[in-house]
Amino acid sequence: MISGNNILKGKHIVLGISGGIAAYKSAYLLRELIKRGAEVQVVITPNGKEFITPATLAALSGKPVVSEFFAANTGEWHSHVDLGLWADLMIIAPATASTIGKMANGIADNMLITTYLSAKEQVMVAPAMDLDMWAHPSTQRNVETLRRDGVIIVEPQSGFLASGLTGKGRMAEPHTIAEEAEAYFNNREERKDMHGMRVLISAGPTYESIDPVRFIGNWSSGKMGFAIADACAARGAQVTLVAGPVDGSLKLDSRVKRIDVRTAREMLAAMENEFRSCDIAVLAAAVADYAPETISDCKIKREKSGDILLKLVKNPDIAATLGACKGGRKLVGFALETDNEIVNAKDKIRRKNLDMIVLNSLKDPGAGMMTDTNKITIILADGREIPFPLKNKKEVAGDIADAIVTLI
Ligand code: C5P
């Protein structure tokens, strides 16, 4: 992460403050943002004003604080739409359980929430609440909704629960939040650190035909592989994506060359062909391990058959096949494990001759095939393990792209 590089200079940030005891820390956050060159407009909820005075915030930001829909003295209407358009980033810190719940459900009963609903650019939330409130399923559900809506969550810090166990809930420190803001802009400014790199990616499931109307498939959505393709293209790479059958509405950067396939064998053929002219291949597809030995020419009819026995034969392992002839190219695999995750993933690196593996465990809620979020650990061939928190797949793709750059 590049830090202290003036990335916040001139950026428009709306700082939303809701009514939690951590609101006093918002003054420090405001100072951090201003110090780093940002222009900050504060929006505070009615409850927020019980914890910190608008006078303090106005003095620090050099702008009147917005709180009500109408200015008290002039009756002038404060436009949340204008504020939402003005902002390059909206940071809500502290975000109470109530504010998070309103955001997740669009309950726009104050200026902060209306501004959130009008925000066109990225929103970042730093939750702050009692540890038990944070752990409550309702809060966790709302946070999950925000994540799915693309909001960046700045994880709260740990503390002790009433039960004596540890839990999270305390707001992240102001400098951590400011660094997250910097990291966001650093990632957004299209870094061209993959310029000239030729990246081949596989994504989605494969379908193995049983007869003309039936197949064996899996629940892979292809979202992770598509997000990696987008991330690499944005950073200047020349990207080819070999996609299994995915939802037709999945969007893809127009700079990416896309090849659609259906079966594991078709995917292997396309990958082998493209592998020749790439520098790195990222195998994010969930390839079927087995396919029916024979495909019936006609639809298998119920009336004619009793129970049927489907003989499955092993599909080629694309990763291992490419690994065996990779020469100077780099190979990145994925592992979705249910047990002994790290050991299995490291074994896979060795067996398939990979340089790096992205591990997601099915044990982690929000990680895996059908979600919009993922929680990964990157494992390198030298044994290094880099764990990441739960993030949306776009952010995860950025982390994977960062790791890819270090491989080349
Ligand atoms: O062995 P396993 O299926 O867990 O390995 C997962 C990794 O291998 C993924 O990167 C996946 O894309 C790749 N793979 C493959 N061909 C297969 C099976 C898996 O390329 N037949």
- pLDDT digit string (tens) for 210-233? 999 999 999 999 999 999 999 999
Rounded to the nearest 5 degrees, what angle is found at the Cα of 186, between the Cα atoms of 171 and 401? 100
In angstroms, the CA 278 to CA 321 distance is 15
Using DSSP bridges, classify how beta strands 198-203 and 238-243 pair: parallel, antiparallel or unpaired. parallel
266 Cα: distance to centroid of ligand 1 (angstroms): 15
- pLDDT digit string (tens) for 266-285? 999 999 999 999 999 999 99
- 369 falls in which pLDDT band (50, 70, 90)? low
Our mutation pick for probing the ligand 1 site, out of 315, 322, 334, 353, counting the most ligand atoms within 8 A of Cβ, is 334
- 75 falls in which pLDDT band (50, 70, 90)? low
Task: Check if 264 has its Cβ closer than 6 Å to any atom of ligand 1.
Answer: yes
- pLDDT digit string (tens) for 33-45? 999 999 999 999 9
Lowest mean pLDDT among 142-151, 297-306, 360-369, 374-383: 360-369
Residue having the nearest C-alpha atom to atom 4 of ligand 1: 335
Distant-in-sequence, close-in-space partners of 93: CB < 8 Å, separation ≥ 6: 15, 16, 17, 22, 25, 26, 29, 124, 125, 126, 128, 154, 171, 172, 177
Residue 281: closest CA among 190, 380, 407: 407
The answer, yes or no, to whether residue 237 has pLDDT greater than 60, is yes
- The residue ranking higher by pLDDT, 252 or 368, is 252
Residue 218: closest CA among 230, 205, 208, 203: 205
What's the CA dihedral at 182, 222, 403, 252 to 10 degrees? -60
- pLDDT digit string (tens) for 154-205? 999 987 777 777 788 999 999 999 999 999 998 776 678 899 999 999 999 9
Our mutation pick for probing the ligand 1 site, out of 271, 314, 317, 378, counting the most ligand atoms within 8 A of Cβ, is 317
Task: Check if 261 has its Cβ closer than 6 Å to any atom of ligand 1.
Answer: no
Task: Check if 275 has its Cβ closer than 6 Å to any atom of ligand 1.
Answer: no
Entry pTM: 0.64
CB 119 within 8 A of CB 25: no
Q: Which residues are identified as catalytic? A: 218
The answer, yes or no, to whether residue 392 has pLDDT greater than 90, is no
- pLDDT digit string (tens) for 313-351? 999 999 999 999 999 999 999 998 888 999 999 999 999
**What burial class does residue 295 get, using C-beta atoms within 10 Å of its C-beta: 0-12 exposed, 13-18 middle, 19+ buried?**
middle
317 Cα: distance to centroid of ligand 1 (angstroms): 6
